[in-house]
């Protein structure tokens, strides 16, 4: 049995693939060009393919002659043409809950950077601004206390629920919008309409997958309904926000600050409007990346494959 990993580099820093190599003839590539012919060349006659962000469209799936299984090394599976996989009878699995704690933690890292400005003031202290100050303290930007603010979550899966718990611990009022009713952890969290969330939240944190319904969910029309001075956090997918509309709102002061760990195209393009927007904090899709989290992901991916080989598929996408 031949196994191909198309883009292992982002996952395996400090880790190894020993458990995978024991399952078959395994070829691991750091990265693969996003071109069908290059992807098909790498896949060859392999029946098992693992991919993180390397896309597998209808052409790749139809022309990978021995393909039986695609293991997505992430939660989101929008890089796979699911219709083509289903038509060909290819099993697709993903990793649904590996990064809950890490992404929730990072959501607040972005929020706290916006509200407490730790990075800025650390830089200013090291530049000598405090040493030369006539007072015992100084601040270059206003700081914001989170207690009592309304924290709104768009989507209410595992990650969002963990984020909600942290927001509650910060003594915030927690509300969420979800496309279907959800059970809640207690009377401190409330499900509301999307309209109400936009109108009442001081902070909006995005936790929905990329689907046709969520692309450009946060656009000018949505922003216009928000409070002046709202903060937006996006650790989900870059396409969920209209980046030009968010950049405009940041530059105009409608949005006080934005923290994003994702972009509509990754790596981010040099002309992305968020790069020049005011008070926009951007990180390179690293919320998922703690070593502990990546080790968990790898273990689940290998167990997914073992289950498939044993005839008892786990974490299958769209059965």
Q: Pick the catalytic residue: 41, 127, 195, 266?
A: 266
Contacts of 152 (CB under 8 A, 6+ apart): 175, 176, 177, 192, 197, 198, 200, 201, 202, 203, 204, 205
Q: Can you name the residues that pair with 3 across neighbouring β-strands?
A: 26, 48
Q: What is the DSSP letter of 209?
A: -
One of 42, 285, 294, 296 is an active-site residue; which one? 285
DSSP for 109-166?
HHHHHHHH-HHHHHHHHHTTTTTT-SSS---SS-----TTPEEEEE--SHHHHHHHHH
User: Does the active-site annotation cover 42?
Assistant: no
Active-site annotation holds for 266: yes
Which of 237, 243, 294, 296 is labelled catalytic? 237
The phi, psi pair for 160, rounded to 5°, reads: -60, -40
Strands 189-191 and 173-177: parallel
285 catalytically annotated:
yes
> Which token pair is 112?
């706290």
Question: Is the Cβ–Cβ distance between 85 and 309 less than 8 Å?
Answer: no
CB 61 within 8 A of CB 84: yes
User: Which residues are tagged catalytic?
Assistant: 237, 266, 285
């Amino acid at each position: 049995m031949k196994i191909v990993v198309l883009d292992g580099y982002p996952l395996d820093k400090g880790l190894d693939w020993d458990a995978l190599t024991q399952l078959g003839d395994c070829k691991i590539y750091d990265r693969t060009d996003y071109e069908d012919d290059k992807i098909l060349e790498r896949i060859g006659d392999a029946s098992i393919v693992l991919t993180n962000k390397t896309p597998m469209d209808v052409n790749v799936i139809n022309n990978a002659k021995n393909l039986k299984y695609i293991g997505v090394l992430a939660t989101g599976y929008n890089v796979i043409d699911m219709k083509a996989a289903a038509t060909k009878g290819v099993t697709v699995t993903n990793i649904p809950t590996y990064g809950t704690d890490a992404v929730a933690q990072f959501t607040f890292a972005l929020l706290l950077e916006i509200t407490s400005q730790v990075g800025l003031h650390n830089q200013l202290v090291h530049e000598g601004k405090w040493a030369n100050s006539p007072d015992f303290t100084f601040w270059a930007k206003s700081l914001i206390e989170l207690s009592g603010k309304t924290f709104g979550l768009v989507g209410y899966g595992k990650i969002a629920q963990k984020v909600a718990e942290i927001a509650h611990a910060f003594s915030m009022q927690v509300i969420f919008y979800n496309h279907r009713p959800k059970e809640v952890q207690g009377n401190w969290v409330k499900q509301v309409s999307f309209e109400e969330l936009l109108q009442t939240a001081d902070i909006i944190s995005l936790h929905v997958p990329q689907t046709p319904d969520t692309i450009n969910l946060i656009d000018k029309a949505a922003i216009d309904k928000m409070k002046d001075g709202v903060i937006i956090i996006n650790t989900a997918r870059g396409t969920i926000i209209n980046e030009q509309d968010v950049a405009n709102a940041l530059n105009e002061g409608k949005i006080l600050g934005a923290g994003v760990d994702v972009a509509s195209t990754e790596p981010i393009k040099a002309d992305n409007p968020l790069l020049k927007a005011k008070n926009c904090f951007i990180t390179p899709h690293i919320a998922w990346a703690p070593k502990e989290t990546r080790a968990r992901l790898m273990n689940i991916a290998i167990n997914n494959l073992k289950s498939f080989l044993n005839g008892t598929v786990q974490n299958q996408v769209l059965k």
